[in-house]
Amino acid sequence: MNSHRSDLLKAFIQQPEWSWTKEAQHEGRVHHWIENVNEWDGKKADAVLLGMPLSRSSISVSGASEYPDAFRKSWRGFSTFNLDEGVDLSSLSVLDLGNVMMHGTDILESHRRIQAATVEAAKRFNDSVTIGIGGDHSVTACAVRGLKEVYPDETIGILQLDTHLDLRDTSPNGPSNGTPIRQLIDGGAVKGEHVFNIGLHGYFNAPALISYAKEHRVNMITLKQARQKGITETVQAALAQLKQTTDRLYVTVDMDVLDIGFAPGVPASTPGGMTTQELFDALLVIGKDESLKHIDFVCLDPVKDTVGLPTVKAGVYSFLQVLTGMALAKRERGE
């Protein structure tokens, strides 16, 4: 074999999924930065990420269980540099802890595993922001119960971006995706008055649930109200109130808060919802806030997304907005 050949071979044979075009796109990409870890011990990070691929608990057929992996695949298309804010996210350390393994047919067992994994993550990474990637909204109840287990003496406050109240009763059908906030209130983990739901609008909550919300003094802030005051101002005000009354903040972002025109891949999204830009602005504010400790993103079903995956991309963008906020705050703190 002549040496030219040999060089050619070395130069031009690639492993699958590494053809040049993909390679060329990889410089400074998110997947080069976020570290996937097998072993949790002895690690430190600004944020840790945990997949919660459960959607058998959804009222309607849902493929939200596919989101954690679709999300990671999509982030290969994103740079670590946020141009609007002029900040490189690689100034933060972020660990990907992997996915919680789900049981095939025992939904309650899957819920227990999500809770247990949240407990472990919260203990080992107690200086990090924990980021849960659902899955459907039932995972939020598990995660918050886990935090209550780790921090039994702390009062937990919830900032919820959602079109729905998620206050359905569990008695007829168990802890489905329509029930997480109800579970937490009924179970005593969270008080209704410590829940702020921003983004409610239209005709998507039954009268009985609104009555429950009022009775338990859940703070319902409609999208109309939020727009009148300003989305970011509304979020800031809610965060301020929660800081005064609670010890630990949990943010839950139900992607169905988005307008159906921007989020075809969230089956429960509706007309009249938030624009992606509004959500991105809200999440930047949340990321900047020093009280942010725990956040999750739920109910995005990549199986139903349209060609080009606009909703999955909006999901990755949302996640990066939180990190941008954190990076700006870190820079401001001079770290």
Binding track, positions 295-334, relative to its own copies; x by CB under 8 A: --------xx-xxx-x--xx--x--x--------------
Residue numbers in the known binding site for Mn(2+) are 137, 162, 164, 166, 254, 256
Stretch that binds its own copies, among 154-162, 238-246, 273-281, 288-296 (CB under 8 A): 273-281
Per CB under 8 A, which of residues 175..214 are in contact with its own copies? 175-176, 178, 200-208, 210
Please select the residue that binds its own copies; options are 93, 98, 155, 193, rule is CB under 8 A: 98
Q: Establish if 21 lies at the interface with its own copies (CB under 8 A).
A: yes
Give the number of other Cβ atoms within 10 Å of residue 186's Cβ.
Answer: 16
Smallest gap from Cβ 185 to its own copies, in A, equals: 19
Instruction: Mark the segment that binds its own copies (CB under 8 A) among 230-238, 245-253, 263-271, 287-295.
Output: 263-271
Helix (H) or strand (E) holding 308: none
Question: What are the two backbone dihedrals, phi and then psi, of residue 272, each rounded to the nearest 5 degrees?
Answer: 85, 10
| Cβ nearer to its own copies, comparing 204 with 236 | 204
Q: How far is the CB of 230 from its own copies (least distance, A)?
A: 14
Residue 116 in the binding site for its own copies (CB under 8 A): yes
Least distance in angstroms from the C-beta of 285 to its own copies:
14
Question: What dihedral angle (degrees, nearest 10) is formed by the CA atoms of 293, 329, 240, 83?
Answer: -100
Q: Which of 44, 127, 173, 240 binds its own copies (CB under 8 A)?
A: 173
174 makes contact with its own copies (CB under 8 A): yes
Number of residues that bind its own copies (CB under 8 A): 113
Using CB under 8 A as the binding rule, whether residue 126 contacts its own copies is answered as no
Given candidates 66, 162, 166, 256, which one binds its own copies under the rule CB under 8 A?
Answer: 66
Q: How far apart are CA 143 and CA 207, in angstroms?
A: 28
What the block records as the tokens of 139 is: 């995972």
> Alpha-carbon distance 305 to 87, whole Å?
30
Question: Token digits for 192?
Answer: 């209704």
SS (H, E, C) 175-211: CCCCCHHHHHHHCCCCCHHHEEEEEECCCCCCHHHHH
The binder of its own copies chosen from 67, 113, 142, 167 (CB under 8 A):
113
Q: Which residues of 318-327 are buried (b: 16+ CB within 10 A; e: fewer)?
A: bbbbbbbbbb
Rule CB under 8 A: say whether 35 interacts with its own copies: no
* Buried b / exposed e along 273-290 (16+ C-beta atoms within 10 A): bbebebbbbbbbbbbbbe
Nearer to its own copies, 44 or 224 (CB): 224
Indicate left, alpha or beta for 100 from its phi (over 0: left) and psi (-120 to 50: alpha): beta
Alpha-carbon distance of 164 to 287, in angstroms, equals 23
Cα–Cα distance for residue pair 332/302, rounded to 1 Å = 36
Applying the rule CB under 8 A, the residues between 136 and 155 that interact with its own copies are: 138
1 or 332: CB nearest its own copies: 1
For its own copies, the binding residues in 226-245 under the rule CB under 8 A are none
